[in-house]
Amino acid sequence: MNPTPELGTVLIRLARAAIAHRFGQALAPQLALPELEAPGATFVTLTQKGDLRGCIGSLEAWRPLRQDVQENALAAAFRDPRFDPLGAHELPLTRVEVSLLTPAQAMSFSSEADALAQLRPEIDGVIFSASGRRSTFLPQVWEQLPDPSVFMARLKQKAGLPAGYWGPDVRLERYTVHKWKEPAS
C-alpha cells in the first residue's frame, strides 16, 4: 500500500466519525478508497491540548483498514484503561492522529547494547516481548524519550518488567508508520 495524503484525510475522518457516531452525531459521507478494504494495522491517538487522552491500536493487519481504524478510534476514546471514557463535551477539544503501521520485522542482536545501537530514533516503532509479556512504542514516542536506553527501559516497564531486565527470551521487532494528524484548532 502506498499511503497518500488523501488516505490520511479519510482515515482521520473515519476515526472521528466513529467516535461522533457513538454520541449520536451525524456521520459525514465517506470517500470510497480501495485501500480501505485491504488489511491494515493502525493506532489511533487522541490528544487534548497536547496531552495524551487515549491511544489504542493493532500491531498486525488482520482486518480491513476501514474497520481497523474505526474500532481503534472507539477503543482509544472509550476503552483505554489509562483514562475515563471520552465524554461528548470533550470531542470538540480532542485532536485525532492515525498511524498506519508497516509489517513488523524481527531484529537480530547479540546483546542489549547491540539492539540499542540498531534502533533508529524517530523512525522505529519497537515491539518488546519477554517472559510472556509484550509492549510497543510508536515512533512518535521518541519525541519524549530520545535516548535509546531510556526508550528501551520504559518499553520494558510498559510490559510490566523491571527497567533493567534483559534475558535470552527478549525478542524485538521494529516497524515504521505513516501518520496523519488533525490540524490544531
Q: Tens digit of pLDDT for each residue in 56-110? A: 999 999 999 999 999 999 999 999 999 999 999 999 999 999 999 999 999 999 9
Short-list 60, 70, 3, CA closest to 33? 3
- The domain made up of 5-101 has a fold known as Glycoprotein, Type 4 Pilin (3.30.700)
CATH code for residues 105-176: 3.30.1490.150
User: Cell triple for residue 139?
Assistant: 515512533
Pairing of strands 171-175, 125-130: antiparallel
pTM: 0.93
96-115 residue pLDDT tens:
999 999 999 999 999 999 99
Per domain, the residue ranges of the chain are 5-101, 105-176
Short-list 30, 39, 34, 38, CA closest to 12? 30
